[in-house]
């Protein structure tokens, strides 16, 4: 591509911001200039982009002059405050927080599932990146839904600590070291010890007894898939650094055999089929970490209902679940929509 674009990464010093920078490098995004923005605490740090130093600047309302695309991963409050400022300056915002996801005027996009929705960015100048656990699930379920129409989804997630950020990664590391050295594991990021433990709480609880994370999966899945699918979720934090795993049960209108599902998934964009029980081959977090495909396996008929399948879905939550998905959206923007 001969055209090049001015890019801002907001929240550049965070786990997802770091990965956005790496993805822009890896995918050779057509960049004219790049600007790294963060809070006042992080301003002044120096990060690298393609081997050259880039100073991290403090995020302010006037930070977006001349920017074409702003990739946001700085939390919902900052997105609500600064995305409108970026849009007024002429940028298109791709936001990784939950701030805009359910806004009816903001497209919620997973390129393998609903790339056409990107065209609606002009309503507010913002495109929302879905929740990490939602992204990998809909990537895997889209071809099955197209073939047999999914009526109901039951999902249980096993989510890595990196989904909470750098402090959570450090907390798990420290707790493991402390426990192995006979010291007490003191929780600070999470309400309980995460090392060698599972926490059936991600985000705060709502009045219906579900957590915000669980309701994100319910509501976002319906919006992305464009269908009134019944969804119920249980989200669990597990002592894994990178890679979310999901046990997913679907009920479809038409019967879908295991063999048919495997063929569909083998040919689905963004999916790698890893499903050979005889060879003990199935998706694992350690295999998903560091790459962008969604791994699907353990496909089996649900024998308790007429048209049901069980699947095990794994992806790197920082890459495809956040940074890579945002960069993929940006790639489509510059290929099809933004003219320079």
Q: Catalytic positions, please? A: 132, 244
Q: E-assigned strands of 130-259? A: 150-159, 230-237, 244-252
Residues 6+ apart with CB under 8 A from 235: 133, 156, 157, 159, 200, 201, 202, 203, 211, 213, 214, 217
Provide the 10 A C-beta neighbour count for residue 203.
Answer: 17
The b/e string for 159-197 (b: 16+ C-beta within 10 A; e otherwise) is bbbbbbbeebbebbeebeeeeeeeeebeeebbeebbbee
Q: What's the rounded Cα separation, in Å, for the pair 168 and 181? A: 20
Rounded Cα distance between 236 and 88, Å, is 39
Q: Which helix (H) or strand (E) holds 314?
A: strand 308-315
Contact 79, 99 (CB under 8 A): yes
Beta bridge partners of 294: 271
Non-local (6+) Cβ contacts of 121 within 8 A are: 92, 106, 107, 127, 333, 337
Distance CA 151, CA 309 (A): 12
Could you give the dihedral angle defined by the CA atoms of residues 219, 220, 225 and 231, in that order, rounded to the nearest 10 degrees?
-40
């Amino acid at each position: 591509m001969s055209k090049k674009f001015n890019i801002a990464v907001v929240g550049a010093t965070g786990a997802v911001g770091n990965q956005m920078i790496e993805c822009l490098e890896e995918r050779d995004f057509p960049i004219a200039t790049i600007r790294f923005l963060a809070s006042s605490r992080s301003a002044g740090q120096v990060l690298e982009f393609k081997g050259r130093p880039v100073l991290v600047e403090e995020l302010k309302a006037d930070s977006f002059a001349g920017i074409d695309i702003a990739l946001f991963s700085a939390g919902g409050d900052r997105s609500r405050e600064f995305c409108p400022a970026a849009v007024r300056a002429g940028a298109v915002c791709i936001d990784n927080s939950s701030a805009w996801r359910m806004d009816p005027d903001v497209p919620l996009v997973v390129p393998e599932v609903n790339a056409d929705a990107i065209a609606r960015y002009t309503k507010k100048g913002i495109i929302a990146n879905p929740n990490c656990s939602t992204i990998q699930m809909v990537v895997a379920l889209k071809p099955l839904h197209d073939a047999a129409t999914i009526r109901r989804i039951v999902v249980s997630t096993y989510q890595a600590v990196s989904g909470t950020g750098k402090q959570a990664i450090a907390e798990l590391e420290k707790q493991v070291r402390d426990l192995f050295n006979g010291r007490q594991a003191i929780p600070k990021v999470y309400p309980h010890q995460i090392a060698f433990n599972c926490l059936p709480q991600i985000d705060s609880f709502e009045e219906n007894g579900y957590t915000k994370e669980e309701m994100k999966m319910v509501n976002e899945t319906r919006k992305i898939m464009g269908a009134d699918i019944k969804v119920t979720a249980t989200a669990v934090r597990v002592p894994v650094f990178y890679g979310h795993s999901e046990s997913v049960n679907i009920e479809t209108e038409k019967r879908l055999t295991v063999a048919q599902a495997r063929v569909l998934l083998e040919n689905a964009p963004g999916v790698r089929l890893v499903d050979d029980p005889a060879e003990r081959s199935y998706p694992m977090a350690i295999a998903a970490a560091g790459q962008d495909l969604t791994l699907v396996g353990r496909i089996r008929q649900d024998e308790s209902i007429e048209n049901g399948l069980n699947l095990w879905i794994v992806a790197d939550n920082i890459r495809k679940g956040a940074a890579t998905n945002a960069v993929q959206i940006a790639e489509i923007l510059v290929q099809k929509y933004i003219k320079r």
